[in-house]
Amino acid sequence: MIIARTPEELRAARDALGPVSFVPTMGALHAGHIALIEAAKAAGLPVAASIFVNPTQFGPKEDFARYPRDEAGDIDQLEKAGCALVWLPSADIMYPPKSATSIMLLGPALHWEGTARPGHFSGVATVVAKLFSQVRPATAYFGEKDWQQVQVVSRMVADLCLPVEIVPVPTVREVDGLALSSRNRYLSPPERKAAPRLYTALTRAAQDILAGKEVAATLHHARQELALAGMVPDYVALVHANTLEPISGLVRPARLIAAAKLGNVRLLDNVAVG
C-alpha cells in the first residue's frame, strides 16, 4: 500500500495507479469503513482511502480535540483490507494559511444535522471537494449511516459538476442493531446497552407508517420510546430521502431519520421506509 503525505507523493501514486475508487475517512476505522473499502474493491478499481480529522466540520463545543486518533492502527487495517493507497494530508495541506474559500449549502443541508450543527456540512462539503480535487477518484464511497451527509455530498457533486460518482453503502450494525460509529466507544456499558433502542424505534416506526398509521402520532411515539430508553431525542423525522424535506405522509422515496443524545454521545441513525 502506498502511503502519501505530500501532494507530490499523492501525484506519483495517482500516476502509478491510474483511476481509483475513493473512501474518505476521519480514521478511527471500524467494520463500517472496511465495508466501504470492500464495496469499492468489488467494483474493480484500485482503492484509495484518506485519513484526515477535519477541524472545520466540528463545532466549537464538539469533540475535535478528543476525536479518536490511531494512525498506525488505521494504516494497518487499510493495508489488510487491500487498499492500494492511503492519503494522509496535514492540516496545513488541507487549509493553507491564506485559505479563504468554503462551500455554502442549501437544500438537503438545511435541516436536521444542518440545524443542530451549524457549519458542519459546509466543513464536510469543503473538505470532500478538496479531497476529490487532490485524489481525483472515478467513484467515492460513503456510508448510509450518515444519510444526510450522502445526500449533501451527492447534491454538491451534481451542482459543481464534479467528475466523480457517489456510491452509498448500507449501514453496518452490531448484532443488536446499533449502527457502527467511531463515537460508540464513548458509551458507558449501560448506555451501550440502551443505544440499539434507537434502531428498534426507527424500524418499528417505519413498519407502522407502512401499515398506514398516522405519521405525526408514529413519530411522537418513537420519540417517547427514545426518552424511555434514557435518550434525549433531538429529532425523529420522516423526510424525502434525497431532499431531506420533512413529509407528513408517505411519499416515496422516504427515509426515517433520527438523532438523540445518550449521555455525552450524539447517536444518529436512519432507515428506509418501503
51 is a site residue for ligand PAF (CB under 6 A): no
* Closer Cβ to ligand PAF, 238 or 244, answer by number: 244
Cα-Cα-Cα-Cα torsion 184, 113, 25, 137, nearest 10 degrees, comes to: 150
Q: What share of the chain is helix, strand, coil (3-state, %, to 5)?
A: 45, 20, 35
Tell me which residues in 85-124 interact with ligand PAF (CB under 6 A).
124
Which positions from 157 to 196 touch ligand PAF by CB under 6 A, shown as an x/- string?
Answer: ----------------------------------------
User: Of 83, 128, 152, 267, which lies in the binding site for ligand PAF, with binding defined by CB under 6 A?
Assistant: 128
Q: Which of 54, 126, 181, 218 binds ligand PAF (CB under 6 A)?
A: 54
Contact 20, 85 (CB under 8 A): yes
Q: Is the peptide bond before 190 cis (omega within 30 degrees of 0)?
A: no
Consecutive H or E run containing 265: strand 265-273
- Helical (H) or strand (E) element with 135: helix 120-135
If the CB atoms of residues 25 and 122 are measured against ligand PAF, the closer one turns out to be 25
- Is 30 labeled as catalytic in the residue annotation? no
Which of 13, 20, 26, 150 touches ligand PAF by CB under 6 A?
A: 26
Quick one: DSSP state of residue 176? T
Give the nearer residue to ligand PAF in terms of CB position, either 103 or 229.
103
Q: Does 156 contact ligand PAF by CB under 6 A?
A: no
Which of 33, 111, 220, 221 is flagged as catalytic?
Answer: 33
The residue (of 24 and 196) whose beta carbon lies closer to ligand PAF is 24
Which grid coordinates belong to 6?
505530500
H or E element, residue 193: helix 189-194
Please list the active-site residues: 33
